[in-house]
């Protein structure tokens, strides 16, 4: 059974300028992730869920949009590496460092999604 973890997702300026904040957040929420914190000032959004780092990277697609599958955020919204609309942590350790870099502990919220039991099987 996979453990619950947090990841760090940043919508880059090109994603913001193109009006993709809502669709990107929606993809993570549709996958069952919950928002622990969010800032709007050219900053990221940490998301949490089971295998959040690996799953988050899958949702984002390959760093190079040309290698990203259709249906991924980068596969659907990006063309060039320099404008690949999002950053996502590549390891749990880096996610913890990136979250701590952008958010104070009191800015992170701990709460349970109402639909949590409909998304995750009990261990």
Kindly tell me the burial class for residue 51, based on how many C-beta atoms sit within 10 Å of its own C-beta (0-12, 13-18, 19 or more). Answer: middle
DSSP 7: E
Catalytic annotation, residues: 87
Could you give the CA distance from residue 90 to residue 42 in angstroms, rounded to a whole number?
20
């Amino acid at each position: 059974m996979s453990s619950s973890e947090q990841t760090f997702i940043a919508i880059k300026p090109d994603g913001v300028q193109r009006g993709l904040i809502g669709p990107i957040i929606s993809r993570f929420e549709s996958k069952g992730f919950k928002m622990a914190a969010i800032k709007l000032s050219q900053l990221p959004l940490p998301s949490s869920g089971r295998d959040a780092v690996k799953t988050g990277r899958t949702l984002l697609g390959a760093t190079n949009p040309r290698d990203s599958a259709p249906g991924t955020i980068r596969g659907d919204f990006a063309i060039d590496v320099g404008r690949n609309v999002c950053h996502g942590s590549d390891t749990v350790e880096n996610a913890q460092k990136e979250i701590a870099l952008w958010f104070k502990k009191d800015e992170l919220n701990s709460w349970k999604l109402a639909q949590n039991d409909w998304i995750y099987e009990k261990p």
